[in-house]
Amino acid sequence: LLIWVDPAAPRKPELVLLTLERYLGTEKMMAILREYYNLYKYKHPKAKDFIEIVNRISREDMTWFFDEFYRSSKSFDYRLTSVKQTSETEYEVLVERLGDGVFKTEIALVTDKNTLIRKWDGAEKWKIFKFTTVNKVASAEIDPQRKNLLDTNFAKNSYTIDEKDYAALSLSTRWFFWVQNALMILGSIG
């Protein structure tokens, strides 16, 4: 059995480090890597050495991160199920965790004037977030900055209030144009 693996495709360790960088920020991640390199360039470090440096420089207990991403083989998948207006200025956003992996993330409610953000620890299987705004709501999104690169399906991470059929109309128009041109070419041949 021969399996071809794309050498350009990112691997899990790479995605975990990129996710850590997106969670902590580039500045902190570069400080972590600089410290790790300087301390262990002539030694044989272990994984716990790197984790200790991450905890110290981030000033946060990142045990949850390494438990979820490094010490287990969990899947990460989130879905934004609905955005419901409960009163004139109140909205409820229902989010779900479909996978068994937990990632601390954000929920964004996008209005015509601004974006409201709520933090979610991601531990519950589902949760309802309440937002208050007088502005017109356009959409909502889980992990708007795409920090968790191991999310199985980013397509389920957003919900738009108004249906938009521009893309379908555009594709249909192009398809009809191609069919028309093909018929004209085939008709002129024969």
- DSSP for 39-95, please give it: HHTTS---HHHHHHHHHHHHTS--HHHHHHHTSS---B-EEEEEEEE-SSSEEEEEE
SS3 162: coil
pLDDT digits (tens, 9 = 90+) for 49-103: 999 999 999 999 999 989 888 888 888 889 999 899 899 999 999 999 998 889 8
pTM of the model: 0.71
| Mean pLDDT for the chain overall | 87
Q: Mean per-residue pLDDT for 125-154?
A: 90
CB 55 within 8 Å of CB 62 = yes
The percent helix, strand, coil of the chain (3-state, each to 5) is 40, 25, 35
Cβ proximity of 132 and 118 under 8 Å: no
Confidence of residue 32 (pLDDT cuts 50, 70, 90): very high
In whole angstroms, give the CA distance from residue 58 to residue 182.
60
Residue 110 has pLDDT above 80, yes or no: yes
Which of the pair, 6 or 76, is modelled with greater confidence?
76
Q: Tell me what percent of the residues of the chain surpass a pLDDT of 70.
A: 93
- The answer, yes or no, to whether residue 123 has pLDDT greater than 80, is yes
158: left (phi over 0), alpha (psi -120 to 50) or beta: beta
pLDDT at 27 over 90: yes
Local confidence band at 8 (pLDDT 50, 70, 90 cut-offs): low
| Average pLDDT for 11-18 | 85
What's the pLDDT at 107?
93
**Which two three-digit tokens encode residue 67?**
């438990």
Residue 150: pLDDT band (50, 70, 90) is confident
Structure confidence at residue 2 (pLDDT): 62
Helix then strand count (H, E) for the chain reads 5, 7
Please give the pLDDT value at position 90. 93
Question: Which of 159, 139, 162 is closest to 80 using CA atoms?
Answer: 159
